Chain A
Amino acid sequence: MTYSQARKELEEIVRSIESGELDVDKLTEKVKHAGELIAFCKEKLTKADEDLQRMLDEIA
């Protein structure tokens, strides 16, 4: 999954929850998934990927 896909899904979840159309079971499930998406997105922005930097360093 890409960052953009994750963010889009996250926005949709927040919108659907805000519209109040979800029952409490679905809500729990969605909030849990949203939490995972948030972690994924934040990680992309703030967590160093050493492999990636190494790959860039290896470009001759």
Chain B
Amino acid sequence: MNQSLTLLELNRFVREVVKNNFPDTYWVRAETSDVRRNANGHCYLEFIEKDPVTQNIVARARGVIWANTFRLLESYFQSQTGTAFTSGMGVLVRVSVEFHEQYGYSLTVVDIDPSFTIGEMARNRMLVIRRLEEEGVLRLNKELPIPDVCNRIAVISSATAAGYGDFLHQLASNPFGLIFYTKLFPAAMQGENSEASIIAALEKIYENRDMFDAVAIIRGGGATSELNCFDSYPVATNCAQFPLPIVTGIGHERDVTVLDMVAHTSVKTPTAVAEFFIDHQAESLARITDLQQRLVSIARQAISRENSELALLSKDVYHHSIAFLSKQNSEIGNVVFMLRAYSQKQLDTLRQEHKERVVRFRNAVEHVIRSEKHRIENAEQYFEMVSPKNVLKRGYTITVQNGKIVTSATSLVENECIETIFSDGKATSEIKNIEKWKI
């Protein structure tokens, strides 16, 4: 081959062909990848196109945005889309097609249409949301109740973020004296790793889910806002199905991210997340305080009611007692009267009975006396009749020996003396003969 070219000659040729055939700039739809910025402020990236079905990359081109262009485009893009210019975005860019002898094919970006990206993001969000909906998980986290005591909070944030500091400060300085317990699960909230890093933090919290009441995903204070990871399906599906309620405060001005849509509650800033928890706890505290006040007031009412009832009751008791007593008094009066009358009657009866008894007694006694008198008279007559004097008069005598009356012949001894007593004298005799009779 005599007609050969050096590489440089070839590349120069290609460069000329490219330049001549692509004299204009062209609007190109592509996805960004590997976006990076160098120290001079130039932005280097890859534009790729994926097969919509297989997701395989079917086209690729290097791209560059020179610093002076990038400065303008970046802020314009961000203000329009609410997100930073970064990897993984669908973009519509106006490019000039370049070929450099040394660096090869590349596209130099001269303009960007943020509305396309907005549309792309919206479309992407729609797809993610539709998928979550189809899987029936979209509203799962929203349906979780926030417990009455919700003060153990797992925080997903960058440890150094100003927003994290604001969040902690806000919780600690709440005016109700509410107590909160927080645990940081650090995650990169932006950049290439943010998605994986947030999911890893969620997994860590899941392992310790019994120790927490809720999760706060916060972000704030960074210069750039990059929200792609908050629209990603893996982050969204993890959050939607998380067993603890998730409250987000990822500090962006754009309408909403998918994460905001699936989270239990979504507020703008980390401080607002803290306020949410404070409000919730303050409400719980207020409910207790309300119950306490109701209790105190009704207890007070009940006590004063009891007191007045007691006063009424004691008045009642007094009056009833008086009435009762006076009734009793008059009843007793009646009884006394009746008793007196009855006693009088009894007394009269007794008196009469006594009188009669006395008469009967006297009669009986007189009868006894009379009969006794009669008996005594008979006895006197009898005693008179049997008195020794009269007996002796009738011819009987009394025999006495040695001063003793002799009533039997057996005690007599012959030749001894005995005295015989008569009614009017006595005689002494000597016993001549003794004759004893058998009786």
Contact = CB atoms under 8 A, between A and B. Distances in A.
B191 interface: no
Given A17-B299, A18-B294, A18-B298, A45 B306 contact: no
Nearest to B153: A56
B295 A34 contact: yes
B428 interface: no
A15 to B, nearest CB: 9
Nearest to B309: A24
A56 B182 CA distance: 7
Contacts of B176: 46
| Majority secondary structure of chain A interface residues (helix, strand, loop or mixed) | helix
B152 A46 contact: no
B113 to A, nearest CB: 47
Contacts of A49: 179, 181
Contact of A47 (B179, B182, B204): B179
Contact of A7 (B148, B151, B295): B148
A48 interface: yes
B182 A10 contact: no
A45 B299 contact: no
Contact of A45 (B149, B295, B298): B149
Contacts of B110: none
Given A17-B298, A18-B298, A24-B306, A53 B291 contact: no
Interface residues of B, number: 28
A22 B314 CA distance: 21
B181 A13 contact: no
Nearest to A48: B179
Contacts of B302: 17, 20, 22, 24, 27
Interface stretch (B94-102, B282-290, B360-368): B282-290
B182 A7 contact: no
B284 A45 contact: yes
Interface in B242-301: 281, 284-285, 287-288, 291-292, 294-295, 298-299
Contacts of A1: none
Given A56-B211, A59-B211, A41 B299 contact: no
Contacts of A56: 152, 181-183, 211
A57 to B, nearest CB: 7
Which of A22, A41, A45 counts the most B-chain CB atoms under 10 A from its CB? A45
Given A17-B299, A53-B181, A10 B281 contact: no
B292 A38 contact: yes
Contacts of A18: 294, 298
A45 B182 contact: no
Which of B147, B149, B306 counts the most A-chain CB atoms under 10 A from its CB? B149
Contacts of B403: none
A44 B183 contact: no
B183 A38 contact: no
B178 interface: yes
A31 B179 contact: no
Contacts of B208: 59
Nearest to B183: A56
B295 A44 contact: no
A3 B238 CA distance: 29
Which of B177, B208, B281, B284 counts the most A-chain CB atoms under 10 A from its CB? B284
A18 to B, nearest CB: 5
A57 B211 CA distance: 11
Interface in A1-58: 3-4, 7, 10-11, 13-14, 17-18, 20, 22, 24, 27, 31, 34-35, 38, 41-42, 44-49, 52-53, 55-57
Given A4-B147, A56-B211, A45 B178 contact: yes
A44 B288 CA distance: 11
User: A-B pairs with the 9 shortest C-beta distances?
Assistant: A56-B183, A3-B149, A41-B288, A46-B177, A31-B299, A48-B179, A38-B292, A45-B285, A24-B306
29 contacts: A3-B147, A3-B148, A7-B148, A10-B288, A10-B291, A14-B291, A14-B298, A17-B298, A17-B299, A17-B302, A20-B302, A24-B302, A31-B299, A35-B295, A38-B291, A38-B292, A38-B295, A42-B285, A42-B288, A45-B149, A45-B178, A45-B288, A46-B178, A46-B179, A48-B179, A52-B152, A55-B211, A56-B152, A56-B182
Interface of A: 3-4, 7, 10-11, 13-14, 17-18, 20, 22, 24, 27, 31, 34-35, 38, 41-42, 44-49, 52-53, 55-57, 59
Given A27-B302, A41-B284, 10 more contacts: A22-B302, A24-B306, A31-B295, A34-B291, A34-B295, A42-B285, A45-B179, A46-B176, A48-B179, A59-B211
